């Protein structure tokens, strides 16, 4: 794979490095380029990974809905690496990968419930610059999800914006983990003129 990263990956060394690479291979089948990029600042890497592990324990939001929302945020920001990774993780965690595949074209797709559609609309609105969340959409989701659910949705989308914007700024692209495990490509947006799927 040709590197597009704006910070060249460091050599991942030492006991902690060996453990990190082994964990990535176990979870993803390969070591992502982003690990080498972030290896330059191991304290930052450790803290980001630690926060991500804690966020995985949040449980006030349906896991499928949360995945669809963060993928919609990634698509809005334009992070192919984030889209690909979350599509792969949906498969790996036994979530609804057929519907996750449809997230890039969720507005045209018929596979999502009204609540899921509102959550993805909220994720897109949060991911605009400036954010475009309306009182009406927030009120509808508060009714749908309750206060804790809406807070978790907001936090998950915020975390995805951190990841997506960081990856884009650093030039980190998709490594096609989903394709490597045999998943069909993500559905193209209806506005795409080519037959190519959304790619990183």
Question: Which pLDDT tens digit goes with each residue over 98-131?
Answer: 999 999 999 999 999 999 999 999 999 999 999 9
Question: Tens digit of pLDDT for each residue in 40-78?
Answer: 999 999 999 999 999 999 999 999 999 999 999 999 999
Question: Tens digit of pLDDT for each residue in 69-83?
Answer: 999 999 999 999 999
The pLDDT assigned to 194 comes to 39
Question: Tens digit of pLDDT for each residue in 143-199?
Answer: 999 999 999 999 999 999 999 999 999 999 988 888 777 788 899 876 653 334 444
Residues 182-189: contacts with CB under 8 Å, at least 24 apart: 183/87, 183/88, 183/91, 183/97, 183/101, 184/101, 186/83, 186/84, 186/87, 186/101, 186/103, 186/104, 187/101, 187/102, 187/103, 187/104, 187/105, 187/109, 188/104, 188/105, 189/75, 189/104, 189/105
């Amino acid at each position: 794979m040709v590197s597009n990263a704006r910070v060249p990956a460091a050599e991942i060394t030492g006991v902690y490095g060996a453990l990190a690479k082994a964990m990535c291979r176990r979870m993803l089948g390969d070591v992502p380029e982003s690990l080498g990029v972030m290896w330059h600042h191991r304290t930052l890497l450790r803290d980001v990974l630690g926060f991500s592990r804690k966020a995985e324990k949040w449980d006030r939001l349906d896991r499928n809905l949360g995945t669809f929302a963060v993928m919609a945020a990634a698509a809005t920001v334009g992070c192919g690496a984030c889209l690909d990774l979350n599509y792969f993780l949906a498969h790996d965690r036994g979530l609804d990968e057929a519907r996750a595949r449809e997230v890039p074209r969720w507005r045209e797709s018929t596979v999502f419930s009204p609540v899921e559609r509102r959550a993805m609309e909220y994720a897109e609105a949060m991911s605009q610059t400036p954010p475009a969340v309306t009182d009406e959409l927030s009120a509808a989701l508060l009714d749908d999800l309750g206060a804790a659910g809406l807070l978790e949705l907001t936090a998950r989308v915020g975390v995805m914006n951190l990841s997506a914007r960081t990856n884009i700024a650093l030039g980190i692209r998709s490594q096609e983990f989903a394709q490597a495990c045999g998943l069909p490509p993500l559905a193209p947006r209806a506005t795409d003129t080519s037959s190519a799927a959304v790619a990183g």
